[in-house]
Each structure stands twice: as structure tokens, then as C-alpha cells.
Structure 1
Amino acid sequence: FHGFGIVKMGLPPFIITLATLTSLRGIGLLMTNGNSISINNDAFQTFSRSSFAGIPNLFWMVILVGIPAYVFLHHSRWGRYLFSVGSNAEASRLSGVNVQRTIYMAYTLSGLC
């Protein structure tokens, strides 16, 4: 949705992200009638508060996501394209990068994550 709005409709990324945030927050409030939802799952609470080898499990989750993201962004062609499009889309287009596809893929991957 974001990729379509930005590439095809020409909307600014900040505006479409803000509009999506507002609409999804409203849907969430409608679904819960404005009430908070607390997580009472013991397995979730145990995992989030325990540690492995003296390091908290939540930090291990950061490592599990951060290292592949670093390798993907800094050591792959698509990562270089992504940085290039984010810095200067016109220069990227002139150097042969498919800017529209890169933007679509960036927002699709972000939404998937």
C-alpha cells in the first residue's frame, strides 16, 4: 500500500505513513472499544524476562535480527541500491537502478517485517 501510494500516486512518504498510522490506530480502538489489552501468557513473560549465557533473551533477538540486516544492507547489491535511492533517487535512476521497484520492495519488506 505504501509503495503504491508513493510511487504511483506521488504522495510524500511521511504523509502516507502518518495516514496509515492514524487509520490503523482508529481501527484498533474500534476493535477494542478503547480498552487496553494485557498479555497474560506465562511463556511470553518468561521468555522476555529470562536470559541465556548471562545475556537477556531480548538482546539475543536484537542480534538475531541485526546481524542479517547488516549483512543484507551492507554486503548485497540490493542494499547498495536501497542506500542509493534513499540518498538521491535521480542519481540512482541515471546510474541504472530501477527506483520504483526498489521503493516497492523496501516498503513491502518493511511491512512484512
Structure 2
Amino acid sequence: MEREQLEQLLGGGDETSLAALSALRAGASHIVWDGTTPSKSLATVYGRRLRHTLRRDIETSGLARAVQRLDLHDRPVRLGQIRAADGSWVFMLFLDEDGNTLVACTGVRQSQPAPQQPDTC
């Protein structure tokens, strides 16, 4: 999917979609995969991720809303991903089967790698 088309899909969305749009415009990488997945299956998977992130105090954006929207959506969805240029956030996109409508968007802050310790021998 072309960057411009993805920007249009994200433009009229909620706070998470706008954050994904901002990351995309700032040089984030993106991909939309071929094929579809049942939305109910993804609602189950992302519901587990929601519980995991809450237990671990991992910062997310729009995850509860995405789970709810996937659960209510009765058709398969296409998956996409936007990875911020600085690696700080990864956004998952859930598009309708044709890729013409954004069903849901969620983001998760990525943990920063620990600084390397100098070797002591």
C-alpha cells in the first residue's frame, strides 16, 4: 500500500490513528500484509495483549478500543504496521478486507534497550 493512501486512511481517525499518521509523516516504515484474518480471532489475541500490557505497565494507545472494534466487526481484516523512525512506537492497523477503511488502530511503546556495560576482565 502506498504511503499516501495510508495517510488518507489515518487522517480522520482518533488520537491513536493521528499518532500513527504523525509517525508515518516523520519517516516511519510501514507495511500492509496480503491476506485477511478473522476479526474475532484478532479481538481475542489483542484482548490477551491488553491484559498483558496492563499487568506489565506497558504504555499503549488505543488498545482497549481496538479490541472492542475488532470484536464488533463481523468480517475479516487486513493487518498493517507502522514502526516509528526512532523505534519508540509500533502501531498495528486493522483494515477492512479491501484495505479501503481503517477498522482500528493501536500502538505500543517499545522498551529501550539497556545501555551496554563496559567489559571488565
Q: TM-score over 0.5 for the alignment?
A: no
Structure with bigger gyration radius: 1
Higher strand proportion (structure 1 or 2): 2
Please give the TM-score of this superposition, normalised by the length of structure 2: 0.24
Higher helix proportion (structure 1 or 2): 1
Please give the TM-score of this superposition, normalised by the length of structure 1: 0.26
